[in-house]
């Protein structure tokens, strides 16, 4: 017999039952559902809607159900459709007809909104934790390689030499914003929907504030219609998740490039790479590739949820059951990625020699030659043209700027003197960018210090 079977005269179609059930995935909400029910029943008892004895017995029964679930003694039943009705029927097995009083003044609509908000809270906390670990790994790489110079790129063309630590800290900054976005979303997630009933509230004299207090919610969803139909917090989570994986994926792309034979800037640890079944020499950056690949499903979950919501009339609609799998999938995809990311970054070997070599075999000091000429009074546009011609000359000769004699420099501009050589050395090029946020050692150390301070506050 269905919990809602009263107005029905026929059996439900078996395929329909299977199709509409959510127990296959929403069983992940079991512990939240029970915690929410315990708070609800406690309040019902305190408000005199149930007797103290009834409330106590239901709470005890719910605790027993929880123990059975944790012990793996429960099989979920599709004919009970979802986690809420599965738990209610398990409660009935424990305490009999009294279980029927649990749902007084409540609907599955406000119940499921509550469960999802409780799930979201935990996921936000876990993700912040995971992000902090990745930040720490990036910071450790920055600390171990504070003075390592390597090429900075624009358009994936060598642009200007930078400190490797500066590059690591750029990702720390991205992840910091991700953390702050998650933390900011907390105040919107952490509002209690329970008490909204099916949509309009309830006739029972319940105390919503008390339930909020018991469950650690900062406030109440103010409008009962909104409380049961709002899934903004899911969209926000999926959107924040999408940005997180965007940032991870950009780093993944760099790790894949850097570990290639063509770059050889890093070597990923054996523990985070795989081999080829055919080619014995291969060491593949699978984790980085897969995180990059999983970006697709995380974006998909966001677009899927937005699309599901876009034309839903108020208030609850069954469509909203579709909020779960995407939410779970994004949360699990991200926590899996973050758990692997931290040790993968931590253990990667930075090949300082190869990086240093790279910046001596390019024209990434060309801007500095132009700036040097400006310092000697040449207008920047003119200096730009002079250096362009100098570079062209070098390319034809197979030289880099530092290979030129003073005489050769002077063919292009009389303003060049002996001091140009010191200025064009990669370390000096880096040091010269001593502006706030720039790549000079002192500036990067300041960024490192500031980043660590923020992380400690997270």
Name the active-site residue from 79, 247, 276, 364.
Answer: 276
Verify binding: residue 229, ligand ARG, rule CB under 6 A. no
Is 247 a catalytic site residue? no
- Rounded to a whole number of angstroms, the minimum distance from the CB of residue 86 to ligand ARG is 10
Q: Cα separation of 371 and 412, whole Å?
A: 15
Name the active-site residue from 37, 155, 384, 405.
Answer: 155
- Rounded to a whole number of angstroms, the minimum distance from the CB of residue 208 to ligand ARG is 19
61 three-state secondary structure: helix
Interface stretch with ligand ARG, choices 263-271, 315-323, 421-429, 443-451 (CB under 6 A): 315-323
> Of 22, 333, 365, 447, which one interacts with ligand ARG (CB under 6 A)?
22
C-beta of residue 230 within 8 angstroms of C-beta of residue 305: no
> Of 249, 308, 321, 364, which one interacts with ligand ARG (CB under 6 A)?
321
Q: Cα separation of 436 and 428, whole Å?
A: 17
Interface stretch with ligand ARG, choices 231-239, 314-322, 403-411, 442-450 (CB under 6 A): 314-322
Tokens of 177: 């914003």
**For ligand ARG, which is the closer residue by CB, 230 or 431?**
230
Could you say which residues in the range 25-64 bind ligand ARG, by CB under 6 A? 26
Tokens of 44: 């019902």
Is 413 a catalytic site residue? no
Q: How many CB atoms lie within 10 A of CB 299?
A: 17
Verify binding: residue 82, ligand ARG, rule CB under 6 A. yes
Measured at the CA of 204, the angle between CA 203 and CA 206, to 5 degrees, comes to 130
Residue 280 DSSP symbol: T
Specify the DSSP element, H or E, that contains 165: helix 164-189
Q: Cα separation of 217 and 190, whole Å?
A: 5
Interface stretch with ligand ARG, choices 98-106, 213-221, 313-321, 435-443 (CB under 6 A): 313-321
For residues 97 to 136, the per-residue mask of contacts with ligand ARG, x marking binding by CB under 6 A and - elsewhere, is -----------xx--x------------------------
Verify binding: residue 194, ligand ARG, rule CB under 6 A. no
C-beta of residue 46 within 8 angstroms of C-beta of residue 213: no
**Residue 27, Ramachandran bin (φ over 0: left; ψ between -120 and 50: alpha; else beta):** alpha
Q: Cα separation of 182 and 125, whole Å?
A: 8
Point out which residues bind ligand ARG (CB under 6 A).
Answer: 22, 26, 82, 108-109, 112, 316, 318, 320-321
Catalytic residues: 155, 276
């Amino acid at each position: 017999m269905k919990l809602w079977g009263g107005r029905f005269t026929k059996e439900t179609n078996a395929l329909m039952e299977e199709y509409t059930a959510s127990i296959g995935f929403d069983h992940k909400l079991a512990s939240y559902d029970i915690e929410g029910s315990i708070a609800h029943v406690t309040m019902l008892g305190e408000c005199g809607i149930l007797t103290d004895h009834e409330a106590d017995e239901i709470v005890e029964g719910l605790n027993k159900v929880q123990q059975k679930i944790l012990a793996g003694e429960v099989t979920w039943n599709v004919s009970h459709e979802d986690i809420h009705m599965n738990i209610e029927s398990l409660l009935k097995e424990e305490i009999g007809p009294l279980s029927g009083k649990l749902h007084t003044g409540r609907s599955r609509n406000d119940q499921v909104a509550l469960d999802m908000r409780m799930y979201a809270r935990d996921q936000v906390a876990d993700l912040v934790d995971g992000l902090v670990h990745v930040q720490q790994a990036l910071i450790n790489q920055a600390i171990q390689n504070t003075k390592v110079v390597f090429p900075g790129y624009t358009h994936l063309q060598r642009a200007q030499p930078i400190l490797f630590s500066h590059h690591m800290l750029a990702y720390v900054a991205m992840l910091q914003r991700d953390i702050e976005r998650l933390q900011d979303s907390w105040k919107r997630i952490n509002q209690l929907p329970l008490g909204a009933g099916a949509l309009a509230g309830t006739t029972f004299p319940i105390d919503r504030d008390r339930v909020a207090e018991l469950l650690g919610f900062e406030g109440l969803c103010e409008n009962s219609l909104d409380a049961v139909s709002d899934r903004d917090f899911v969209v926000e989570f999926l959107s924040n998740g999408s940005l997180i994986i965007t940032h991870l994926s950009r780093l993944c792309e760099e790790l894949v490039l850097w570990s290639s034979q063509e770059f050889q800037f890093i070597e990923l640890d054996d523990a985070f790479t795989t081999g080829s079944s055919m080619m014995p020499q291969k060491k593949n950056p699978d984790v980085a590739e897969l995180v990059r690949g999983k970006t697709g499903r995380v974006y998909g979950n966001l677009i899927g949820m937005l699309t599901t919501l876009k034309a839903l009339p108020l208030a609850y609609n069954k469509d909203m059951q579709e909020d779960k799998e995407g939410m779970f999938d994004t949360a699990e995809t991200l926590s899996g990625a973050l758990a692997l990311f931290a040790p993968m970054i931590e253990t990667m070997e930075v090949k300082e020699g190869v990086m240093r070599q790279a910046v001596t075999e390019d024209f990434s000091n060309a801007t500095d030659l132009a700036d040097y000429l400006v310092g000697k009074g040449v207008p920047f546009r003119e200096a730009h043209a002079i250096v362009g011609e100098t570079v062209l000359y070098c390319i034809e000769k197979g030289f880099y700027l530092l290979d030129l004699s003073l005489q050769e420099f002077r063919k292009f501009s009389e303003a060049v003197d002996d001091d140009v050589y010191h200025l064009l050395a990669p370390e000096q090029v880096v040091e010269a960018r001593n502006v706030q946020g720039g790549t000079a050692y002192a500036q990067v150390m300041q960024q490192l210090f500031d980043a660590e301070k923020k992380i400690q506050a997270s």
